[in-house]
Structure 1
Amino acid sequence: MYLYIKALHIIFIVTWFAGMFYMPRLFIYNTEAGDKPEAAKAALREQFAIMMKRLWYGITWPSAVLTLIFGLTTWHLMGATPEWLKVKLLFVIGLYIYHFTLHVIFKQQQQGVFKYSSQQLRIWNEVATIFLVAIVMLVVVKQSLSFLWGIVGLLLFVILLMSAIKIYKILRDKK
């Protein structure tokens, strides 16, 4: 039974992350639609609103809830809480906080409020990637991962990711 529950946990993690990866992209496209002529802007924003609502309520939220249910069940069935799991749970709490920030942005955009530039949203889009890398490394490497090397590796990954965003912005501005 444990392995079936664990498999379901992993499946819903994947679908939850799919939603968290795609939703900020839709925020970016919806924000950039504001630069289009009025007719195109209205049509694009109407379409993005539909896409965001279906993705958020049809995939992302249900996956977040099922990830939590199957994760807690897996943890209960493990019967123990190893040190690596305690650190993972801190990252998971951070991931749910990130999820709630996406919900706030979703609600704002559904109401026609655009507080963030597409560049700010591009950077925010990468937060899920940082959580994914940290959590997967913890789960796979477990106790052999030294805390210091893990933090150094994560910081280097963040620097690499932010550098890629900066380079992309420079190349995009040249066009």
Structure 2
Amino acid sequence: MMTDLLFTLYPWVKSLHIMAVISWMAGLFYLPRLFVYHVEKAEKVQEAPAIFHEMEEKLVRVIMRPAMIVSWVCGLIMVLTPGIVDWGEVWPWTKGASVIAMTWFHEWLNARRKGFLAGQNRLTGRQYRMMNEVPTLLMVVIVLSVIVKF
């Protein structure tokens, strides 16, 4: 009974998963870029720091966190669908490790956002530019894991 429901819902869950991942990734790419401008430009305009704080907070709260949660829930539902994942292969483990790393990066970015809010940012624009590459590298591993099944 439950297996039939999981098979019936699978294309819908997979579709929702892909849409949520796209939204989550957009935020993971954009937030470090906002931090670059926050570090390099915000102090030059009187109201800019408050505007950056609001933009960063809304990006995390309204887009990134819900998208991450939906990505995880749908991903777990797909994993629980019988016959979808062969745990004897390497790819589910590389994808899983990369998704955990992506989640850690998400939380790391949120901690940096809170640091900005508290006036405790210690990173430079260059460092945030470099951190902007982390989600790209993780995305490559995730996509290759799922599609090529390496």
TM-score, normalization by structure 1: 0.75
Structure 1: tracts of 5 or more residues without a match? 146-175
The runs of 5 or more residues in structure 2 that have no matched partner are 1-8
Deviation at 1:17, TM superposition (A): 0.4
Of structures 1 and 2, the one with the larger relative CO (CA 8 A, separation 6+) is 2
Q: Larger helix proportion, structure 1 or 2?
A: 1
Residue 121 of structure 2 corresponds to which residue in structure 1? 114
Alignment equivalent of 1:14, drawn from 3, 22, 40: 22
Query: Considering only aligned residues, what root-mean-square deviation do their CA atoms show, in Å?
Result: 1.3
Aligned residues: 139
CA distance in 1, matches of 2:80, 2:57: 33
Percent sequence identity is 33
- Aligned partner of 1:86 in structure 2 is 93
Q: What stretches of structure 1 move > 4 A for 4+ residues in a row? A: none
C-alpha distance in 1 between matches for 2:75 and 2:42: 40
Query: Counterpart of 2:111?
Result: 104
Q: Is the 8 A contact 2:28 2:135 kept in 1?
A: yes
Distance 1:46 1:35, change over 3 A: closer
Cα offset for 1:79?
4.1
Task: Please state whether the residue corresponding to 1:4 is helix, strand or coil.
Answer: helix
Write out per-residue CA displacement over residues 69-109 of structure 1, whole angstroms, 9 at most, x where no aligned residue. 11000111144532211221011111111111111101101
